Amino acid sequence: MLNNTIAQINNIKEFINTVSEGIKVVPKGSESEAEKAQLMSVMTHLRDVKVIKDKTLDQIDPMKRVIVTLKKHQVKMDEDYLVVLETNKVRIKEVAQEALGDVKESILPLQTQEAENIKARLARFGVVV
């Protein structure tokens, strides 16, 4: 039970760190392939936050109960995982707020432009066909 809970905690930490770093790289435009790839990467992180945030927050309280139960039975732990869980809960909320607020707003014009580019390519393809 302890190993499973620690693995879940580490997965949450890794997710938070990955998203935090991923949303820092907001492209300036969507003209080059590298900028398009950056835009797609940021959009993927935003999607992941939206999908995973609520599920992860719902898992934290059951994990806390497991930790408390293990402590009652004198299971030895390397860290105070209750503090780690609370810290992760706060960090998830902060990352989600930043990602779904500021970052999403800043890439909206790029998403709109890329959608227009795709429509134009589709129209050109339709003419060729």
Task: Enumerate residues 6+ apart whose C-beta is below 8 A from 67.
Answer: 5, 77, 81, 82, 85
pLDDT tens readout for residues 69-110? 998 998 888 888 999 999 999 999 999 999 988 888 888 888
pLDDT tens readout for residues 12-44? 999 999 999 998 887 776 578 888 888 889 999
Residue 73 parent element (H or E): none
SS (H, E, C) 20-45: HHHCCCCCCCCCCHHHHHHHHHHHHH
SS3 call for 76? coil
pTM for the predicted model, two decimal places: 0.80
> What does the domain layout of the chain look like in residue ranges?
2-128
SS3 call for 94? helix
